[in-house]
Amino acid sequence: MTDCIFCKIIRGELGAEFVHQDEDIVAFRDIQPQAPTHVLVVSRKHIPTIMDCELPENMELLNKMLAVCRMIAKREMIHEKGFRLVINTGVEGGQLVKHLHIHLLGGREMGWPPG
Ligand code: 5GP
Ligand code: ZN
């Protein structure tokens, strides 16, 4: 996807502070952090939303994204106190970037319900 912001970051056309990169998954810090740790975990493959994850190969990527979340949570030392994973989906879900991503938020106490 040529005009997708996250695809541009993955291709190196836009800067980002990467915290993880492997052959399938990348993770970088959110440009507008909402918590001391706010990392976006993203598949290199352009999958628009979680509703496109019915294909087994996309489910496999989602599983890898979750494993990267666990790894980064440990590295950021937020795994014991806890953290939040968010997948905004569609208009009412507040998804602004149409490339599937998991928000990993931690380092402060989270409120509920979300806005
Ligand atoms: P969404 O609302 O789609 O779930 O979240 C998109 C996230 O991407 C937002 O938290 C926003 O701050 C972040 N974001 C948007 N553009 C950029 C960018 O160019 N670089 C980085 N690092 N994050 C971005
Ligand atoms: Zn994309």
| Sequential DSSP letters for 66-101 | HHHHHHHHHHTT-TTT-EEEE---TTTTT--SSS-E
pLDDT of residue 51: 96
Is 31's C-beta closer than 6 angstroms to any atom of ligand 1? yes
Looking only at the bridges linking them, the beta strands covering 83-86 and 37-43 are unpaired
> Quick one: which of 24, 1, 89, 95 has its CA closest to 51?
89
SS3 at position 59: helix
pTM exceeding the 0.95 threshold for the entire prediction: yes
pLDDT at site 95 = 98
Q: Is 32 in the pocket of ligand 1 (CB under 6 A)?
A: yes
Q: What's the pLDDT score for residue 88?
A: 98
Q: Which of 46, 99, 101, 103 is flagged as catalytic?
A: 101
Q: What is the predicted pLDDT for the residue at 8?
A: 97
Is residue 89 exposed (0-12), middle (13-18) or buried (19+ Cβ within 10 Å)? middle
Q: How far is the CA of 103 from the centre of ligand 2 (A)?
A: 16
Atom of ligand 1 nearest to the CA of 87: 4
101 catalytic residue (yes or no): yes
* Domain covering 5-106 in this structure, CATH number: 3.30.428.10
Structure tokens at 10: 């993955």
CA atoms within 13 A on the CB side of 91: 0
Ligand 2: distance of its center to the CA of 105 in Å? 21
Tell whether ligand 1 has an atom less than 6 A from the beta carbon of residue 14: yes
How high is the pLDDT of residue 115?
84
pLDDT in tens, the chain (115 residues): 779 999 999 999 999 999 999 999 999 999 999 999 999 999 999 999 999 999 999 999 999 999 999 999 999 999 999 999 999 999 999 999 999 999 999 999 999 999 8
Ligand 1 lined by 95 (C-beta under 6 Å) = yes
- Coil, strand or helix: which one is 32? coil
